[in-house]
Amino acid sequence: MTKIKIEERVNLIIKAGIAYVSLNRPEKCNALDIDMFVAIKKIIKSLKVDRSIRAVIVTGNGEDFCSGLDIKSVMSSANAPLLLLFKWFPWRANLAQFVSTGWREVPAPVIMVIKGRCWGGGLQIALGGDFRIASADASISIMESKWGLIPDMGGTLALKELVNVDKAKELAMTGEMIDGRQALKYGLVTHVDDAPLERALALAHNICKQSPDAIAATKKLYNKSWWSKPGFALLRESYYQIKILLGKNRAIKTYNQTNPDDKSRDFIDRKHW
């Protein structure tokens, strides 16, 4: 069954358990205006509660992933900066940050496909994914310093997990543009491929063969435990494993492994993680 959801700035197609999300402002290099921020937030929230989703692939329509903030559009409205930066609680994400950090809350793995420009806010969005697959000639930059700003869209959460602090500072302070191969060397991307979308599809299909409960639990375990105290990490490992062992998908996975020719048994929708 295929489900299609069209927002003004973002398209969503769900087919065979894979959600295909595409930023849809190609005439502006998928630059971020207020409408796109809002549309991305809506899409993330819908994916977070859709239990049928097994993997998410995020792309940009046209030649670019996302060229960053559309400064002219955002600054033309007196309310736009307030909409982006306002938050009730200092430790929670505002709208600008949610388009990056929100992907971490989606139980299914999120694969970002990077081609063309991936600058500033575009890179912040990409950093919110679990995997980033880039073309070799992609143009990648933490560009905020060129506007006299700091990176403030939540990508710092992922950046500290991926890149040495001195390299992160250098990239952020200079706004240097690097290609996909350099980004792979620094740890900003997971893979470089001449056909990044096809590589993403192959990864998504491989993930879909596994128990959705185990995949969702692994994502949550690593996201919460990577920088937490060892005791909490051990606690989560035990707790999540017990939940998986008590679930039906574990038994189905075991059966499929021992009976590979029997295609009659498939996973049920993942539990809420």
What was the pLDDT predicted at 18?
A: 97
What was the pLDDT predicted at 264?
A: 64
What was the pLDDT predicted at 116?
A: 98
What was the pLDDT predicted at 176?
A: 95
Class of domain 211-258: mainly alpha
Q: How far apart are CA 181 and CA 64, in angstroms?
A: 17
Contact indicator for 125, 100 with CB cutoff of 8 Å = yes
Q: How far apart are CA 4 and CA 13, in angstroms?
A: 4
State the number of CA atoms in the 13 A half-sphere of 28 facing the CB: 16
With residues binned 3-state (H G I as helix, E B as strand, rest as coil), the percentages for the chain, rounded to 5, are 50, 15, 35
Contact indicator for 1, 8 with CB cutoff of 8 Å = no
What was the pLDDT predicted at 80?
A: 74
For 138-158, how does the pLDDT look when each residue is reduced to its tens digit (9 = 90+)? 999 999 888 888 888 888 888
For 35-51, what is the mean pLDDT?
95
For 223-234, what is the mean pLDDT?
85
More confident residue, 254 or 267: 267
Token representation of residue 5: 């959801």
Contact indicator for 192, 184 with CB cutoff of 8 Å = yes
For 237-259, how does the pLDDT look when each residue is reduced to its tens digit (9 = 90+)? 888 888 877 877 766 666 577 67
Nearest to 161 by CA among 104, 244, 93: 104
Q: How far apart are CA 59 and CA 25, in angstroms?
A: 12
Q: Determine if the pTM surpasses 0.85.
A: yes
Q: Would you kindly state where each structural domain of the chain is located, as residue ranges?
A: 2-207, 211-258
Question: 3-class SS at 242?
Answer: helix
Is the dihedral angle over the CA atoms 241, 19, 113, 25 positive or is it negative? negative
Provide the pLDDT confidence category of residue 205 given band limits of 50, 70 and 90: very high
Structural fold of domain 2-207: 2-enoyl-CoA Hydratase; Chain A, domain 1 (3.90.226)
State the number of CA atoms in the 13 A half-sphere of 192 facing the CB: 18
Question: 3-class SS at 46?
Answer: helix
SS3 assignment for 74-134: HHCCCCHHHHHHCCCCCCCCCHHHHHHHHHHHCCCCEEEEECCEEECHHHHHHHCCCEEEE
Token representation of residue 190: 């997971």
Amino acid, single-letter form, for residue 108: A
- Helix 248-258 vs helix 230-245: angle between axes, to the nearest 10 degrees? 70
Provide the pLDDT confidence category of residue 228 given band limits of 50, 70 and 90: confident
Mean pLDDT of the chain: 90
Question: 3-class SS at 235?
Answer: helix
For 120-131, what is the mean pLDDT?
97
What was the pLDDT predicted at 102?
A: 96
